[in-house]
Structure 1
Amino acid sequence: MSAPRTIIVAGAGIGGLTTSLALAAKGFRVINLEKAERLEEAGAGLQLSPNASRVLIDLGLAGRLAQRAIVPDAVTVMSARTGRALVRLPLGDAAGARAGAPYWVIHRADLQAALEAQVNAHPSIDLRLGCRFEDFANDVHGVSIGHRCRAERRQDSALALIGADGIWSTVRGKLFPTAQPRFSGLIAWRGTVEAKALPQRAALAGVQLWMGPDAHLVVYPISGGRLVNLVAIVADDWRREGWSAPGDARDIQRRFAAAGWASAARLLIDSVENWKRWALFAMPDGGVWTAGSTALLGDAAHGMLPFAAQGAGMAIEDAAVLAKCLGESHGADASNAALPVAASLQRYAQARSARVARVQRLARQNGGIYHLKGPIALARDLAMQALGGERLLARQNWIYDWRA
């Protein structure tokens, strides 16, 4: 029998591990189920803007992450046609000071490793690897969860179940069987290269966003500057599920050469030997969230296109709001202990759905803007240059200045 304040989290990705830490900080006992036998890299680099980094810092991760993350000096928007910089959005320490938290770029594996270490050090979190969530049912304690740890079938009772198990969520499939992600018609090619393998003129101190016809490329340093992360987005009808299908380097090289991209961008693409492909699926705007004592979080609730660099950020925000809502009614210092779990989860959904929908729309709009061609692309470039980096960056303040 589980303790009265036990919560089960399905999934130990970025969202699931952050949720476990946030709930434990509110006085809950957490069981975190993860089907993988060990946590390994899924993806390559990611960006953590201040709205996300401040949550992680508040959870005590500053020391672990500061050693692994890089503070980029700027986001530089590049023209695929000319190879020149169009505009520079200043980041660095000054932007972090304004927002009250840093803007970080980091290897996904480094972030996951830091979260896992923090989880394993917490006495109130039981991380169970090799344990696959299977089903759930409401019971007198809240919810009863069936899961399989290797060959053994187990049953646990908990106050609530949180599905943080990704875009192809098993929990969502049980909760909302008709809510399915939709293919965007785009795929991401992901790869990394040793920074020392690039010519000096390709050295990076920040993020580069290359915009071209029907495609774009994002490049930034990770792993303390030792590696450079590349993500190339192109239109395609390949739609296999998963994050890490192998891709033929010659295919992506031919695509960008045929489209007439500048030599500096092609140099970056040609430097990567091992590419992985990821078909981009997204959930409907606003996501799907909760029913009874079960709630969804991160990609399971609202998987989005990555063109606002907020996929991980929104999952981290979800974790903070979920823990706050449950903590106010059922945590160690509950201020409203009479509120049912289902009502607390509804408050969480109401607090998140409009903001998430706005970010989903922004990501989709950004993708369209990045891929313009012809005269309208030239008009876009001129408009960006006229606005300037400071004003373009200020348009992101509604994202970066968020607090739980």
Structure 2
Amino acid sequence: MSAPETSPSRHADTADPHDRLFIAGAGIGGLTAALCLAREGRAVTVLERAESLAPVGSGLQLSPNAMHVLRGLGLEEELRRHAVAPEAIRILSARSGKDLARIPLGAHAEARYGAPYLVIHRGNLQETLLRAARACPDITLRLGADLRDARQSPDGVTLDIETAHGKDHLSGAALIGADGVWSVTRRRIMGLRQAVFSGRTAYRAVIPIDTIPEEWRKVTGLWLGADAHVVHYPLSGGRQFNIVALVKEDWHEETWSAPAARADLLARFEGWPAACRTLLEQPESWLKWALCGMDPGMSWINGRFALLGDAAHAMLPFAAQGAAMSIEDGAAIARNLARAEDPVKAFHAYQSERQDRAERVLRLARSNDRVYHLGGPLALARDAVMRSLPPERLLARFDWLYGWRPPE
């Protein structure tokens, strides 16, 4: 998917530069926001520090709330070709190896929420968004454009960027920071506190599905253990299998992601049920990520600057909503910019609309962190409650989350 810097389209050339909107970051949230803004007729320039965009990463979950936005962008059919709609979330005990609960998904969830619940490789999602952005005349994509600083005035913003050809200065109406957990927009330009390490690490691997037992090929598996849990599900139309092992540990690496020693990981899961150990033994190589998050209650906006996705509210992955919240944010910021001519007013409306919901999800992820990793008598009590709840009731607990749709 590597490509040279995209040239501005004829439409972009003729647009009033003072009306141009800038987005820092060509990830899932940034590209979604760009597509939603372009649908509203706004000229957008996406600035991406990387020289090329390769389909990297592992799996993620696209729940119905996110799929409503992506459907509105006309991307559902293509995404379904790369994704899998798991039949259920199968929750198991790492102590006994027995099933605790089964939350129905598949056709049941699609009928309930009006959109599918999909699992997909992050690279396939980004590639789909990127292809749509490149085909849109209102979107200019600038790769290899490193945002160094930005200033604002009552009339607009001025950005300082560095490229392989030197320094450049860009002027426009507003800047949206969609540049991830380690956001330059958040830290350097808006002066906000960064995310902090949570004390947990995620080990991730994607492998061919051929050697995986049939019982795991159509469901999302979730194994709960003391201070660790394992998640796995199919990807790539059922051709690949995603495994994530999450553990409590310190982080001593120089960067926030690094190769992981297979033997060290397996040692952490010694004594776990054989069925789970068999899955963990399949990958020959693993990558690990330090899990970082932010506290609720901090502002995402400052005048003509605004944040979305992980740059605004990085959260632990224990609600499987990081990508979905970025997608929802992208739709919301575009909708509010379309309604208000003044970006400052639009950004206030955006934060008012989004913050409570995003922070409720952030708190859910923190709650799941505690619940998933219980040990001793508390784990036994949790397991008993899960076994007692009907599957329909387990799913209904997420109606507030999965049942969201973009406001008309």
Compute the displacement of 1:178 (Å): 4.2
TM-score, scaled relative to structure 2: 0.93
Compute the displacement of 1:174 (Å): 2.4
Compute the displacement of 1:387 (Å): 1.2
The residue aligned with 2:362 is 360
Matches within 5 A, 1:214-363: 214-238=227-251, 240=253, 244-257=257-270, 260-330=271-341, 340-363=342-365
Q: Contact conserved, 2:18 with 2:171, CA < 8 A, in 1?
A: no
- Relative distance call for 1:192 and 1:173 in structure 2 (3 A) is same
Q: Contact conserved, 1:240 with 1:279, CA < 8 A, in 2?
A: no
Letter in 1 for 2:185: V
The residue aligned with 2:61 is 47
**C-alpha distance after superposition, 1:140-189 (max 9, x if no partner):** 64111111122321111111100000000000012442411111110100
Per mean C-alpha deviation after superposition, the further-off stretch among 78-87 and 237-246 is: 237-246
Matches within 5 A, 1:369-380: 369-380=371-382
The residue aligned with 1:16 is 30
Matches within 5 A, 1:204-215: 204-215=217-228
Distance 1:356 1:90 in 2: 24
The residue aligned with 2:404 is 402
The residue aligned with 2:10 is none
Matches within 5 A, 1:58-97: 58-97=72-111
**C-alpha distance after superposition, 1:238-258 (max 9, x if no partner):** 16475641000101101101x
Per mean C-alpha deviation after superposition, the further-off stretch among 174-183 and 82-91 is: 174-183
**C-alpha distance after superposition, 1:238-284 (max 9, x if no partner):** 16475641000101101101xx2100000111111110110011011
Distance 2:283 2:396 in 1: 33
TM-score, scaled relative to structure 1: 0.94
Equivalenced residue count is 392
Q: Contact conserved, 2:309 with 2:322, CA < 8 A, in 1?
A: yes
Distance 1:240 1:13 in 2: 24
- Relative distance call for 1:253 and 1:97 in structure 2 (3 A) is same
Q: Contact conserved, 1:43 with 1:243, CA < 8 A, in 2?
A: no
Distance 1:146 1:51 in 2: 36
Q: Contact conserved, 1:242 with 1:278, CA < 8 A, in 2?
A: no
Q: Contact conserved, 2:186 with 2:192, CA < 8 A, in 1?
A: no
Compute the displacement of 1:90 (Å): 0.3
Distance 1:2 1:239 in 2: 49
Letter in 2 for 1:264: A
Q: Contact conserved, 2:50 with 2:144, CA < 8 A, in 1?
A: yes
Q: Contact conserved, 1:36 with 1:130, CA < 8 A, in 2?
A: yes
Secondary structure at the residue paired with 2:317?
A: coil
**C-alpha distance after superposition, 1:15-43 (max 9, x if no partner):** 11111101111110010000111112342
- Tell me, yes or no, if structure 1 residue 115 matches structure 2 residue 129: yes
Q: Contact conserved, 2:206 with 2:242, CA < 8 A, in 1?
A: yes
Compute the displacement of 1:344 (Å): 1.1
What residue ranges of structure 1 are gaps of 5+ in the alignment? 331-339
Distance 2:45 2:35 in 1: 11
Q: Contact conserved, 2:203 with 2:289, CA < 8 A, in 1?
A: yes
Secondary structure at the residue paired with 1:28?
A: coil
Distance 2:28 2:347 in 1: 20
Secondary structure at the residue paired with 2:367?
A: helix
- Relative distance call for 1:286 and 1:396 in structure 2 (3 A) is farther
Q: Contact conserved, 2:216 with 2:233, CA < 8 A, in 1?
A: no
Letter in 2 for 1:273: E
- Relative distance call for 1:241 and 1:103 in structure 2 (3 A) is farther
Percent identity, please: 47
Distance 1:166 1:240 in 2: 20
Q: Contact conserved, 1:134 with 1:148, CA < 8 A, in 2?
A: yes
Letter in 1 for 2:272: W
Secondary structure at the residue paired with 1:372?
A: coil
Q: Contact conserved, 2:92 with 2:223, CA < 8 A, in 1?
A: yes
Distance 1:111 1:226 in 2: 16
**C-alpha distance after superposition, 1:194-244 (max 9, x if no partner):** 11022x355420100100111000000001111110111101111647564
- Relative distance call for 1:241 and 1:328 in structure 2 (3 A) is farther
- Relative distance call for 1:314 and 1:239 in structure 2 (3 A) is farther
Structure 2 counterpart of 1:381, from 370, 380, 383: 383
The residue aligned with 2:7 is none
Distance 1:84 1:383 in 2: 14
- Relative distance call for 1:101 and 1:201 in structure 2 (3 A) is closer
- Relative distance call for 1:268 and 1:202 in structure 2 (3 A) is farther
Letter in 1 for 2:238: G
Distance 1:87 1:388 in 2: 8
The residue aligned with 2:116 is 102
What residue ranges of structure 2 are gaps of 5+ in the alignment? 1-14
Secondary structure at the residue paired with 2:157?
A: strand
